[in-house]
Each structure stands twice: as C-alpha cells, then as structure tokens.
Structure 1
Amino acid sequence: MKKIFMGLVFMIVLFSLAVLIPLHGHAEQMEPSEFSQGVEYTLLMSREDKVCKHMLTLFNQDLAKFGTEKYNEHEEFRSIGWKKETITRMEGDREVTDFVETAHFDIDNDEKIDLVFRLTGPMGGYDRDTLYIFPSRRPSEKRWTLMEIAHSPGRISHDGYFLLSQSGAEKNKKMGTIPSMASISRLEPFVLEGTVYVGMRPLYELASGTDPVVEFSKVFVITKYREGKYGGGPDPNEKETGKREDVCYLKVRTKPYIPGGQ
C-alpha cells in the first residue's frame, strides 16, 4: 500500500512539474506573520561538529538578517553551479520545450562527477524539490526528456524523510528528542571543505499548533548521499535502494507571534 501511495504521489508531482515548467529558479518561501518576529535553528544532532556548527551559524545569520535562508549568498551553495537546461516533454500529442536546473558535481563523494537535475513543483503554495541523479555522467550535448529524467538511477524525493534514532551517546537533554521523521521541502546541495552534503529544508512555515505531527516540520537535515533512490518514483513496485549518512539535524525554534510586536 505504501509503494502504491508513493507511486501516486510521484505521478501527481510529475504532472504538476509538466504544468508549471518552465522553471524560473526557486521562489522565495512564504513567511506567515506568525514567524515574522523570529526564527532560528538549534542543534538537535551532530555527527560532524565542524560542519553542523558552521551551517548552524550560517543559517541563523541569514534568518536574523533576511528572515529566510539565502543560499545564493554563500559560496558553499553557489559552488554547485546550477544552470538552466532545455528539455522536452509531451503535452498531449505535442512535444514541447521546457527548462530544468542541472549541475555536474560529485554528489555521492566517490571522486566521479555526476549529473544532477533539480525539478521544483508546488506543494500548498510552497516549493518542493526532487533531485534526479545520473552517476558518473559528464556534460554532453544530449537533449533530455522529462520522462528520461524521471527514470534516473538515483533520486532524492521526499515529503516525509525518516530520521535516524538517537544512540545512547547522542542523547542529550539540551539537544532534545529526535522525531521519527521530517517533512522535507527544499533540497540544497552544498560543498564544505571538498565534501558534498545535501541540505534538506523543512516547511517550518507550517509548524504551528500543538499537534505532534507539527514536529515533523521543524527539522532541517544535512546528509551525505551515497547511492540509490529515496522517495516516490514512476514504478509503484520500485524498491527503496537509497543509502545516506545523516550528519546533522537542526531544529527550528520560532518565537510566539505578538500582534504589533509587543
């Protein structure tokens, strides 16, 4: 049943992409007034302190200055080198031309350059990313189709991302308890000291109320992608083959909204 559901989600997302392409880059995430008076991240889990503390400081400086993360302001994210590339897709019986984001970088840190497509679709008025990965694929003149991209050997596509449980050594009352999963919206690869990580941003704009599910929208994941596929794909019977190494969990903390800023 889970595989069938993920397959349906994939087809809905693919249809949405076909409708909304051409892409013009990421839209700024909306920021409801409930969060206009302060958003910051705290460290929930760290397996690489140097990386986690660096990114925690970087994001919190952005949030304090701009009210949102400004990825393109930082060389860590700019070094990925996203570009627009022409693709084709079918619109009824017609073949039409559109654009997607592409980049060539070593996303799995195996010292070989990979081809990565990023497609962005809507989710309740917000951006939702999917990364389609073609390992060891260097630049070429090939004209890709949307369906070819959807059948990539590697993929990162999530609404819900299951988090790693805490070991005894990692449990820390100051850091708090790790929820079972995170609700992922944006996928932002970055490079730090020669290693590629994938930043997985939650939809914390929706994290209001007291329902326990709200906790899923508060965790920013930083992971190392290794191989395979995560998330829904074109085949409902497709096996989950993805391997990753989560290194940081950052938890968003919002200040209560007070009308008039009192």
Structure 2
Amino acid sequence: MEGLQLDHVYHWETIINDATKYIDELIESSGSRSNLRQKLQVSYVPSGETYSFDKHYEMSWAHRFADKLLSLFEAPRNPLLDKNSEGWINCHLLALFIDDCFLTCEEIQVHRCEEMSLASIMRKNIPREEPEKKKSGHKIDIIFRIDDMEYFGAETFADEDPHNSKPISYKHKLYREMKDQLDRLLKKLKFTKETIKLVKNIVLHGISHGGNDRKTKFYYYKKLVNPILYIRKRL
C-alpha cells in the first residue's frame, strides 16, 4: 500500500439535513408508544407549506416506516413476535424500509425478490463452450444496479422458520455474490498507470437481515479491493 501511495481512509460521511433531524425527533419521542404516536400525528410539513417531493420525501419515508412499526406494536397481537417467514419480513418491513429509501436516486435500480445476479451468471458461464446450455445465476433477495453493473446485494433470513433451508448458508451466498460483483466490475475497467491507483476506491456492500429469536437483526459487510493482489493477478 505504501509503495503505491494508497492512503485512502474509508469512513461514513456524516449527513445532517431536515430528514435526519426529523428521525432524531422520532427517536427522542420513542420512550413510549403514546409519545411516539403523538409525534407522528404532527405533520412534518410546516403549516402553510405545500408538500414537495424533492424537499419532503425523505421525512415522509421516515414517517411512514415509523408509523408502520408503531402500528404493529399497537396491534392486539403484535405480528413482530411471531415466527415470521422470510417473505413476511421482505413484504411488511424491508420493502417499505429499503426500496422506498431509494426513490430519490434516479440512477439506482432496486431489484427485489430473488432477482438473478448478472455477476454470478458471468462467473458460472466462463468455462461454458458454445454447444453447452447457458447456466443460470444465483438469485439474490435484493440487488442494486446502475445500468447493468451491480454493487450491492442483500439476503433475508428467518432462522426460526422450520421450513427455512438456509439458516447459515445465506451468509456464504452473500459473500460469494459480493465477490462475483467485484470481479465483474474489475473486468469492465480499462487500466492505465493513472487509473490503477483508483482501484482502491471500489467498495462493494452487502447486508443480511432477518429474524432470530423474535428479534430482527442486520449484518453489514463491506468488500474492498486489495490493489497489490489485483495487480499481481493481472500480471
């Protein structure tokens, strides 16, 4: 890393805007259900101001997700305490939380519900010869694409589901998918002496999420490029 003068530090940039302030207000009001309900009954759009998608959508997204969670807790029988299936988690929580979050990002396409990975299709068909039938790729619960390039994957799990066939292997599937995505990205690049140093800026993201012991958990993974190993591989 020192030889190539790679000193980039990866970290989350702090973002503070009206939406993050509103989320903080919701968290501060979450000490009891009644307090949170009272906060949600107050409009996030100031009095006399007209709703604007560009200005208010992120607050609307936070409001709808908080209202959804609170409604589940307020129900006579809280369904979050059930042994929910992977499909239930995707439909009632994650679609609302993840998919709607990216409506403000026009270039990002969110593909959900066992979408076939283009990156894994490429890997599985590398040894294929012309007469052979093309192999199918792995199906991932959520894939993010910009045009035909993939850079984020997510898998949902439900460890308590007796019919669940992937209580452990979902993690391995996600790791493999991130490696496929990284390989596909690198194959698309045109390397020169100047651009090879930019390889260090490539970051792949993955999330596994689901229920375990009546609790919803999120696991976040990040995959970086090791420029030294990649240069050696190309040489």
Q: TM-score, normalised by structure 2?
A: 0.28
Q: Which has the larger radius of gyration?
A: 2
Higher strand proportion: 1
Higher helix share: 2
By relative contact order (CA 8 Å, sep 6+), the higher-ranking structure is 1
TM-score, normalised with respect to structure 1: 0.26
